[in-house]
Copies of this chain bind each other. A is one copy, B any other.
Amino acid sequence: MAAAEQPSLRTLRVHLEERSYPIRIGFDTLHQAGPAIADATKANRAAVITVPGVGRRYGAPLERGLRRAGLRVERLVVPDGDRSKNLRQAARLYDALLDFGADRGTAVVALGGGVVGDLAGFVAATYLRGVPFVQVPTTLLAMADASVGGKVGVNLPQGKNLVGAFYQPKLVWIDLATLRTLPARERAAGLAEMIKHAAIWDAELFATFEAQLEAVAGLEPEPLAAGLEKSCAIKAEVVSRDERESGLRMLLNFGHTLGHAIETLSGYRRFLHGEAVAIGMAFAAVRSEALGFASPGVAPRLRELLERAGLPTAPPDFPRRAYLEALRVDKKKRDRHIRFVVLRELGRAEVVPLLPAEILPRRFPAVARRSS
């Protein structure tokens, strides 16, 4: 049983007072998650919420471990894709939990990417006013982004993430080996968020990514685990200082203003979230220079790293007025100004209130495609 004794590579603790929880980062550790989940949740049952492909591939070792730890286990499968993240699927899951006899001693375990985590987390947050929640992310984006912050929720026909909650997991269990089956494009999308965390907060981590990007992207355990841990630690620090998203946490929206607009305008089909954010970051860096917040050189350095990761950096060619319209419906606006995140340098960001017309220069996106 050498495998069972193999320690996890890294443990990071997210500090949120009585809602604090650990993130355990390992390699080939899925079969070891059961006892850790039992210990973190004190549950006697577990509902594993997943999508068909991930469930087939990774459900069995996780569930065997849970059963060995003494839990009754049921797998609840939702259809693939962002379209599952809605109130109807949540209602289906409530019904399935009731059929399973789930009470407050039942853990909800999200096995999969961001969609599964958001949907399962919303159900965990609201079923019986909250049951213990565990995340087992299997995409790099979910590992780097969704595993810290407690944002859970579903979409409405009118827009994404319009209904949700802030709800912390009891444990995040990351098995990096699950990334071996992740398509390269989705892997790059996850790198985008890790690069974002470095760009807004940690010049040293940014330099490390510049030195080791190919090793991280190639899933070499040590550099990947180290980079992911630091990336999660940055998000954890920002979130723990501002759990309910009043101020500092806005920094995490770096690249998201334009990114969301791009996702909206392309109907969430053409770009992965991380890709849209990569374009948004490259653009925000260019604007940071142009508006005098950052020195020249910041934008090209960021763009180069994003491109080495295989990410797009040029905004798609929608009319400027379509972009302006998309910015104006951003749900975070409180008035006509948008709190736009600019870089001061690589490793330091700031929120500034700007009008949509100030964010988007004249002749955008043509000018952005050239200048970036």
Contact = CB atoms under 8 A, between A and B. Distances in A.
A163 B94 CA distance: 8
Contact of A163 (B103, B126, B331, B333): B126
B130 A244 contact: yes
A141 B44 CA distance: 36
A130 B130 CA distance: 15
Interface in A310-339: 331-334
Interface string A330-356: 011110000000000000000000000
A156 B98 contact: yes
Contacts of A105: 334
A269 interface: no
Interface residues of A, number: 32
Given A165-B125, A331-B128, A158 B98 contact: yes
- Copies of this protein in the assembly total 2
Interface string A87-128: 100010011001000011100000000000000000001111
A370 interface: no
- SS of A interface (majority): mixed
A151 interface: yes
B151 A103 contact: no
A350 B151 CA distance: 37
A192 to B, nearest CB: 23
Nearest to A128: B331
A22 interface: no
Contacts of A290: none
A357 interface: no
A221 to B, nearest CB: 35
A44 B335 CA distance: 10
Contacts of A98: 156, 158-159, 162
Contact of A162 (B94, B153, B165): B94
A91 B156 CA distance: 9
Given A87-B91, A95-B158, A103 B331 contact: yes
B163 A127 contact: yes
Nearest to A334: B105
Contacts of A166: 129-130
Nearest to A17: B17
B151 A129 contact: yes
A164 interface: yes
Contacts of A94: 156, 162-163
Contact of A165 (B129, B244, B245): B129
Interface in A128-179: 128-130, 151, 153, 156, 158-159, 161-166
A128 B244 CA distance: 12
Interface in A4-35: none
B103 A164 contact: no
Given A87-B91, A331-B103, A332-B104, A153 B165 contact: no
A91 to B, nearest CB: 6
A126 B128 contact: no
Contacts of A244: 130
